[in-house]
Chains A and B, each alone.
Chain A
């Protein structure tokens, strides 16, 4: 069964192995590190590779057998279909992990000097190290399950991509910041670097403008929250801000470094006085993941996605037994 799986899979495996070999040779030689956009594009490649693996290796694995009717050929050989599914999952799944792992290894190695200079390792967390191996395993098994349930290749590919993206976004925006206890840092409000405004595009619709401190300079860390709180931990409300600083936000420009057009000196002074007044009862609270959490988080990430992949593989076996 392993030899049969390889017989069917080797052409695709050879193409990917060829691309990876080319990339490795290029990374060792002609790809110069003075081009910043190349670092970006290689990162994007690592980012999208697991999704492509799920769509093109995972989804068709069972769906195509149903679509072409070849499941009637495959499942009437002297191999039970549970074993058929288990071997297919294992061989192609391990190949998926190897492909994503090698790609990440090449890109991590090539980008190393640039990453160290950038001093912002968490910005490229999903594009480096061992986490992409977990993403690939998860995406692949997700694709296989989608194909086994939907039985049509093209819809299964799109469902795979949609669920994969949703799972990844949920993971990095909600779960990852909660995996390890962050470090809490309290800072006095700095009138010279605190602005007034809103963060994010959507908050224009839902939130109201408030004071915005500049994030502190903490190299290689991941700042997960930045708020203005008083000694009891309550946040600064719009009412308190407006009563302490009547007329804030009027007269153009801000006090911090966020503004591009220079505000009149009177406005700047008024703003800095306001921040100083607020600063007597409020301070800046920063939570962040320190640099030392990078590798523990990589391992957590790998374990979480590998665990999810195993669960999905179990669901595939269960589904195939009943098909």
Chain B
């Protein structure tokens, strides 16, 4: 494995690939992201964002290459699982279980669980703890899923398209609550979206994924500065992303 991969590395991937039957969902992915960053993973639908995040969360195993998260194999054991908070796409919850039931469940399953944080968040959001999770609105369900992930006090929070199903106002509110909860804890964040505007709001590191391959990866300020030097004029992040997406081949 990558010799520079340590606990100070958020994610280190080398030649990482995942194949489903005949289709490669992700291939030749080599990445090294330092810890403590808020990483935006952007790319069109079907580019392999969910595959990369599932690999990082240990939900699936790679077909080729290796991946380490916070210096350990994803899903390698209870300690590693406890260090990573994961909010899956469409924010799944148990339909028949109440909000309070979900908090109890997470309390049972996570040794680092902070019940006060969780209850305070649910109260601030105005969600009735007795409500069944199946009857929550999309925004409330996303907030419940985020609460479950945040209150286990992870070192890394992974969010897969957390705002895709939310309206613009709820989107902004949700993203702000992500930064609000991780601020001051040194928690790293990786979140994916197919909209650059979502990521621009809170991210300081960018990874662009197109057709199962990495097109662009780096510190957002550094990427913008380099592009400004190259073109001689100020550039916007979405122009940079669109330019990298429309490049042909694996030029980078």
- Chain A residues near B (Cβ < 8 Å): 1, 3-4, 7-8, 11, 68-73, 75-81, 83, 322
Contact = CB atoms under 8 A, between A and B. Distances in A.
B88 A4 contact: no
Interface string B85-109: 1101110111111000100111011
Given A3-B108, A69-B88, A73-B88, A78 B93 contact: no
A75 B75 contact: yes
A68 B95 contact: yes
A318 to B, nearest CB: 14
Contacts of B84: 76
A84 to B, nearest CB: 9
B81 A76 contact: yes
A73 B78 contact: no
A7 B102 CA distance: 10
Interface of B: 54, 57-59, 61, 75, 77-79, 81-82, 84-86, 88-90, 92-97, 101, 104-106, 108-112, 145, 148, 152
Nearest to A83: B78
Contact of B88 (A3, A72, A78): A72
Given A7-B104, A69-B90, A70-B93, A77 B59 contact: no
A76 B81 CA distance: 6
29 contacts: A1-B109, A3-B108, A4-B109, A7-B97, A7-B105, A11-B96, A69-B89, A69-B90, A70-B94, A71-B59, A73-B88, A73-B92, A73-B93, A73-B94, A75-B59, A76-B57, A76-B59, A76-B85, A76-B86, A77-B81, A77-B106, A78-B78, A78-B79, A78-B109, A78-B111, A80-B75, A80-B78, A83-B78, A322-B61
Describe A's contact surface by its main secondary structure.
Answer: helix
A3 B107 CA distance: 10
Contacts of A81: 75
B152 A72 contact: no
Please indicate which of the listed interface residues B57, B88, B145 has the most CB atoms of chain A within 10 Å of its own CB.
Answer: B88
B108 A1 contact: yes
A4 B108 contact: yes
Contact of B92 (A7, A72, A83): A72
Contact of A72 (B59, B78, B101, B108): B59
